[in-house]
Amino acid sequence: MKKKILVTGGAGFLGSHLCERLLKEGNEVICLDNYFTGQKQNVVHLLDNPFFEIIRHDVTMPFFIEVDEIYNLACPASPIHYQYNPIKTIKTSVMGAINMLGLARRIRAKILQASTSEVYGDPVIHPQTEDYWGNVNPIGIRACYDEGKRCAEALFVNYQRQNNIKIKILRIFNTYGPRMHPNDGRVVSNFIVQALKGKDITIYGDGSQTRSFCYVDDLIDVMIRMMKSDDKFTGPVNAGNPNEFTIRELAEMVIRLTKSKSKIVACPLPEDDPLQRQPDISLAKKELGWTPKIEIEEGLIKTIEYFKKIV
Ligand code: NAD
Ligand code: UDP
């Protein structure tokens, strides 16, 4: 049956892929965005579809609509963007969650929160399982994002307990792919753009810190599976690719795949940059029957092809 679905942050990197996939599945999709880090360009190709519409709106302000499901993705995700106006980042996570949960309660819609591996902070448990409470500096430069997302999770579970609304919490680990903004500042887009332009590849610190990178198609797959799963399964559930690499390994891979002559240079490591990150995805495997399928080289090649067209 055709569902009416609201996607906040729908003009962003993940949101635009999600809107596309939900439309392909035959749904009616409303994309809501204030274009802080997203772009109309990401969804303009969907405008021919009569079951797609876009609305310029800021989630810190209340919003009313009748829908069956809400995917709450609105929030800057890259450290340079979420640290640009930290108070606004907190408001977006917290007031955005309150406004969307209030809406979900009023219209009895199911609602999914795009949470993050950042709720684990600089983790001392490795790989990270959902029952780990995390190691977050509440007053550091990443706190506006980490604590905002942690508060959003608290709001979700309490709206469920107090008001019995249908919630889903997905903890997303580093995801990359086409439609990342070229100036987004995240590591995969930075390295690819630098390599394609023949500029220095900027490794922060000594490059021994690790991340585990998931290709966007796999992530959208698990996000939709989570929304469709049994109402009793609320999460939080980790979503990411467990294959872990050092940032130096990633730089070397990008140089090799782009055949670039760029040199690697060391830059200062930002404060509170997590040293290691790898999702334990046993829960997603068990409850959602999901494992990521696209390995890093294949995903990087697709992403490099995209950036070749736009830089
Ligand atoms: P993105 O920056 O490309 O997308 C975020 C979108 O939200 C943008 O279109 C932006 O304009 C919009 N937005 C920001 N503030 C808003 C506001 N106040 N009102 C309305 N719209 C607003 O980032 P993304 O990578 O697509 O991330 C989407 C979501 O997934 C975010 O909530 C992010 O925290 C989460 N997430 C992403 C990753 C990742 O690796 N991509 C990892 C963990 C969590
Ligand atoms: N990073 C880097 N060079 C860059 C951008 C990022 O070495 O040009 C590092 C960053 O310090 C971090 C990792 O890459 O250790 C991932 O950074 P990103 O901003 O993509 O995501 P997050 O830190 O939120 O996982």
Q: What is the pLDDT of residues 57-115, one digit of tens each?
A: 999 999 999 999 999 999 999 999 999 999 999 999 999 999 999 999 999 999 999 99
Phi-psi label, residue 115: left if phi above 0, alpha if psi -120 to 50, beta otherwise: beta
82 is catalytic: no
Give the ligand with the smallest distance to the CA of 32.
1
Cα separation, 134 vs 122, in Å, equals 7
The residues lining ligand 2, judged by C-beta closer than 6 Å to any ligand atom, are 78-79, 174, 186-187, 190, 202-204, 209, 211, 247, 270, 273
Range of the domain at 64: 4-179+215-241+276-293
- 258: tokens are 């782009």
Mean pLDDT, the chain, rounded, equals 97
Q: Read off the pLDDT of each residue in 11-26 and give the average, rounded to a whole number.
A: 98
3-class DSSP assignment, residue 125: coil
Distances (CA, A) of 253 to 9, 115, 262: 31, 28, 12
Q: Quickly state the pLDDT bin for 311 (edges 50, 70, 90).
A: confident
Residue 220 is assigned to a structural domain of this protein:
yes
Q: What is the reported pTM? A: 0.98
Q: Quickly state the pLDDT bin for 116 (edges 50, 70, 90).
A: very high
- State phi, psi for 116 to the nearest 5 degrees: -150, 155
pLDDT in tens, 177-187: 999 999 999 99
pLDDT in tens, 200-236: 999 999 999 999 999 999 999 999 999 999 999 999 9
- The answer, yes or no, to whether residue 1 has pLDDT greater than 90, is no
CA 261 to ligand 1 centroid distance, Å:
32
Q: Read off the pLDDT of each residue in 138-158 and give the average, rounded to a whole number.
A: 98
CATH label of the domain that carries residue 74:
3.40.50.720
82, 145, 159, 215: the catalytic one is 145
Residue 255 is assigned to a structural domain of this protein:
no
Give, using CA atoms, the residue closest to atom 13 of ligand 1.
74
Residue 206 is assigned to a structural domain of this protein:
no
Give the ligand with the smallest distance to the CA of 189.
2
Residue 301 is assigned to a structural domain of this protein:
no
Helix 143-163 to helix 86-107 angle, to the nearest 10 degrees?
20
How many domains is the chain built from? 1
Peptide bond into 127 cis (omega under 30): yes
Q: Quickly state the pLDDT bin for 26 (edges 50, 70, 90).
A: very high
Give, using CA atoms, the residue closest to atom 17 of ligand 2.
187
Residue 83 is assigned to a structural domain of this protein:
yes
Q: Is 269 exposed, middle or buried (0-12, 13-18, 19+ CB in 10 A)?
A: middle
Distance of CA 199 to the CA centre of its chain: 27
The closest alpha carbon to 173, from 97, 251, 83, 242, belongs to 242
Q: Read off the pLDDT of each residue in 110-138 and give the average, rounded to a whole number.
A: 97
Residue 67 is assigned to a structural domain of this protein:
yes
36 in ligand 1 pocket by Cβ < 6 Å?
yes
Residue 118 is assigned to a structural domain of this protein:
yes
Cα separation, 19 vs 79, in Å, equals 24
Residue 58 is assigned to a structural domain of this protein:
yes
pLDDT in tens, 162-179: 999 999 999 999 999 999
Dihedral of the alpha carbons of 189, 191, 197, 200, in degrees to the nearest 10: 150
pLDDT in tens, 255-268: 999 999 999 999 99
